[in-house]
Amino acid sequence: MKVLVTGFEPFGGEPFNPSGACLAAVRQELSGTFDVKTEQLPVDLESVRRRLPELLSESAPDIYVALGVAPGRHAMAVERVAINVLDFPIPDNVGSSPADEPVVPDGPLAYAATLPIKAIVRECTAAGLPIYVSNTAGTYLCNATMYLGLDWAVRQGAMTRVGFIHLPHATEHVPRPDQTGALPLAFMARGVAQAIHVSARVSQDIAGHGGAVH
């Protein structure tokens, strides 16, 4: 089974991004079980728009998991939905700062993840890996990458299962001493690998609560 995992380079003035830094460890975790390709994407909207469809077409994965960092979150977060909105709170690394623009001009308002998100949360939690269902991927490049991956699968008629996992900061590189909620990089890589194992095994997601009041 072919698996593609992407992360991001640092952005926003931070020197470290766990989503890109953990890719080698994720690849090691999955070694011998899956045919794994990983790539660190630039925090550059137009580059991602060009590169991601190429990467997906080149690798033709059965499972595509995109990773990003969500500062302030206290656990890994499996995203439920990607929306067709670009509304950047800060510029990307080349200075692009769209507001109220679509990710894909002729795309639908939203796409739901095609990973078994509830099964991932249940099995990772049982394994002691802190994770939850998130109902917003934001309006920055993380959401855009998830949307572009799902849009590619629909337009290509591909059976690729696509989803996004947000990571908290890594304990090895917490930007501020007072910041809490960080997790070790190896621990997060194990969680991502577990999510991929679940996605390969579970064809129909389980029912269960994963909503939010706000």
Q: Does the CA dihedral 191-192-193-195 come out positive or negative?
A: positive
Burial of 211 (0-12, 13-18, 19+ CB in 10 A): exposed
Q: Assess whether 169 carries a catalytic annotation.
A: no
Please pick, among 123, 166, 169, 197, the residue that the annotation labels catalytic: 166
Nearest to 159 by CA among 117, 122, 203: 203
d(CA 48, CA 98): 14
Please pick, among 79, 123, 124, 197, the residue that the annotation labels catalytic: 79
How far apart, in Å, do the first and last CA atoms of the chain sit?
Answer: 37
Q: Token pair 């690998």 is at which residue?
A: 193
Q: Assess whether 142 carries a catalytic annotation.
A: yes
Q: Assess whether 166 carries a catalytic annotation.
A: yes
Three-class secondary structure of residue 90 per DSSP = coil
Please pick, among 22, 29, 142, 197, the residue that the annotation labels catalytic: 142
d(CA 189, CA 187): 5
Among all residues, which ones are annotated catalytic?
A: 79, 142, 166
